[in-house]
Amino acid sequence: MTTKVERAEFIDRRLAELYPETPVPLDHRDAYTLLVAVLLSAQCTDKRVNLVTPHLWALADTPAKMALVPVAEIQRVIRPCGLSPQKAKAIAGLSRILVEKHRGQVPRTFAELEELPGVGHKTASVVMAQAFGVPAFPVDTHIHRLAQRWKLTNGHNVEQTEADLKRLFPQERWNQLHLRIIFYGREHCTAHGCDGTDCEICRTVAPERKRPVKTKK
């Protein structure tokens, strides 16, 4: 496979075979609970987030209810997710803004989402893709690492990786594909379990590779 297009076509086809279903890994009920869950997932596993969020939803599961909860109480519940002071402040702040500016609804544009406390482009992309079905390609650490191992990008930063992947794959595939890459990265091409030479896709797209790939941040 000598070109990025050839590699992308193989990867798209193989991942669809491996993961025909693409459930969202974060348990949620609606756009708001997804938004909060994605925020909590920063530097935390989805598994742990899914253990914590039922306790948070028992406390408050709408922006209006959450806006009334003291930040210290939110922090107490979400502490196992790490970075709890910042995350609790962001959850309280974005909940108030949703009530005051958006009638308690999660906005459906990237610009409005990214104005919310604690919501960066990746978080906004996940919400747009998985809550509203808008084509997006959220790039997390798994996708950034794998795109470099699979020679789809030179990966100087996540912004460039996202742009490169969007050019290579059809827009209608983005929402499923970003989840499929995450699933594959967690199962077969982990940070320490594969160095760019071990898993099926790495061996197929880069058969000549002899040395480990050093991921660019």
* Contact assessment for residue 53 and residue 44, using Cβ atoms and an 8 Å cutoff: no
The whole-number pLDDT of residue 16 equals 98
> Residue 64's domain is classified under what CATH number?
1.10.340.30
Boundary residue ending a domain (130, 148, 169): 130
Indicate if 108 and 161 belong to the same structural domain.
no
Residue at 212 is within a domain: no
- H, E, C per residue of 38-75: HHHCCCCCHHHHHHHHHHHHHHCCCHHHHCCCCHHHHH
Distance CA 27, CA 211 (A): 38
pLDDT in tens, 50-71: 999 999 999 999 999 999 999 9
The whole-number pLDDT of residue 137 equals 97
Residue at 117 is within a domain: yes
Residue at 35 is within a domain: yes
Residue at 41 is within a domain: yes
Indicate if 17 and 64 belong to the same structural domain.
no
Q: With the CA atoms of 17, 28, 26 and 95 taken in that order, what torsion angle do they form, in degrees rounded to the nearest 10? A: 140
Indicate if 42 and 18 belong to the same structural domain.
no
State the residue range of the domain holding 177: 4-22+137-205
Summarize the confidence of residues 128-144 as an average pLDDT.
94
Indicate if 120 and 176 belong to the same structural domain.
no
Indicate if 66 and 150 belong to the same structural domain.
no
The whole-number pLDDT of residue 2 equals 80
Indicate if 71 and 123 belong to the same structural domain.
yes
Summarize the confidence of residues 182-192 as an average pLDDT.
93
Residue at 217 is within a domain: no
**Which of 38-42, 78-82, 212-216 is predicted least confidently?**
212-216
Indicate if 124 and 178 belong to the same structural domain.
no
The whole-number pLDDT of residue 140 equals 87
Boundary residue ending a domain (105, 130, 155): 130
Quote the mean pLDDT of the chain.
95
* Contact assessment for residue 94 and residue 118, using Cβ atoms and an 8 Å cutoff: yes
Residue at 215 is within a domain: no
Distance CA 119, CA 91 (A): 10
Residue at 176 is within a domain: yes
Distance CA 62, CA 92 (A): 11
Q: With the CA atoms of 25, 31, 33 and 39 taken in that order, what torsion angle do they form, in degrees rounded to the nearest 10? A: 70
Boundary residue ending a domain (77, 112, 130): 130
Distance CA 67, CA 102 (A): 13
Indicate if 119 and 154 belong to the same structural domain.
no
When divided into structural domains, the chain yields a total of 2
Indicate if 83 and 105 belong to the same structural domain.
yes
Residue 217 has pLDDT above 80, yes or no: no
Indicate if 200 and 148 belong to the same structural domain.
yes
Indicate if 143 and 125 belong to the same structural domain.
no
* Contact assessment for residue 32 and residue 58, using Cβ atoms and an 8 Å cutoff: no
Residue at 211 is within a domain: no
Distance CA 141, CA 16 (A): 21
Indicate if 43 and 107 belong to the same structural domain.
yes
> Residue 150's domain is classified under what CATH number?
1.10.1670.10
The whole-number pLDDT of residue 213 equals 86
Is the dihedral angle over the CA atoms 49, 50, 54, 57 positive or is it negative? positive
